[in-house]
Structure 1
Amino acid sequence: MQGSPKNPEQKIIKRVIALEGDIIKTMGYKNRYVKVPDGHFWVEGDHHGCSFDSNNFGPVSLGLVHARASHIIWPLNRWQKIEPALPMDRRPLSDWRDGSTADKDD
């Protein structure tokens, strides 16, 4: 959970897609590829194209993080523990922590 970059008093929940130093292929941001700067991370909602996330406002300061979501509790039929996983198509293109680089498709 983080404060919204437009209004830090408003809380939003987004999936962390990339950490500082990672290179991410964006989905509609002003630059096609972004290297996440130090002290920032890249967040996205699960509903691509209609989510207010880093593709709209860019990398987010780590200082805006308030908590980590661990469970979905509403609606009741979705009650479950949230597993830390990234969709395959949203993984960083490179990861400075292990030196890996994924293939670019363009």
Structure 2
Amino acid sequence: MAQTGFGRRYFKAFVSGFFVAVPVTVTVLDRLAYVARVEGASMQPSLNPDGESSPDVVLLNRWSVRNYQVHRGDIVSVLSPKDPRQKIIKRVIGIEGDFIKTLGYKNRYVRVPDGHLWIEGDHHGHSFDSNTFGPVINELVIM
């Protein structure tokens, strides 16, 4: 009989904890942070140094994006300008107003327009980034 009471208390504690933990976790992931898997060679050697055999998992800061606090050197997740169903992870090289010396873009030097970022992968030979599609509008950053 005592075992049954213990089991019920344990079950009630688990259920009440579950119904508190799930909303808190969802809120944190929606407002503060985002967990993403990094695959491919574009951010090597900083991220995913071993290649496809062991993709890295990163925690991205959503709070900074929501408050427009993205800086040069930050790593961001962006909806691809070529395929909005695809998310890409790149490093911010330039913010609005910066002049960028490009690596193969149609113009040798580019001024990053207001409300845009210049993003590049760390592995320049294997990266689909601003050198391909130009400056990225801030609204595409989903970090």
Q: Within the alignment, does 1:9 sit opposite 2:85 as a pair? A: yes
TM-score, L = length of structure 1: 0.62
SS in 2 for 1:27: coil
The CA distance in 1 between the partners of 2:81 and 2:110, in whole Å, is 18
| d(CA) in 2 for partners of 1:8, 1:39 | 19
1:51 is matched by which residue type in structure 2?
S
Residue 59 of structure 2: aligned partner: none
- For 2:90 and 2:105, locate their aligned partners in 1 and report how far apart those are by CA, in whole Å: 16
Report which of the two has the higher share of helix.
2
Deviations 1:14-67 (A, max 9, x none): 000000000000000000000000110000001112210000000001010101
Query: Where does the alignment leave 5 or more consecutive residues of structure 1 unmatched?
Result: 68-106
| Divergent runs of 4+, >4 A | none
Please identify the structure whose Cα radius of gyration is greater: 2
The unaligned stretches of length 5 or more in structure 2 are: 1-76
Letter in 1 for 2:132: N
Give the residue type in structure 2 aligned to 1:3: L
Per the alignment, in what secondary structure is the counterpart of residue 93 of structure 2?
strand
- How large is the Cα RMSD of the aligned pairs? 0.6
Aligned to 2:126: 50
Counterparts of 1:50 and 1:63, CA distance in 2:
25
Identity rate of aligned residues, in percent? 72
SS in structure 1 at match of 2:118: strand
Select the structure with the greater relative contact order (CA < 8 A; seq sep ≥ 6): 1
Aligned-partner Cα distance in 2 for 1:41–1:12:
14
TM-score where L is the length of structure 2: 0.46
> In structure 2, what is the equivalent of residue 87 of structure 1?
none
In 2: Cα distance, 1:33 partner to 1:62 partner:
20
Say whether 1:59 aligns with 2:135: yes
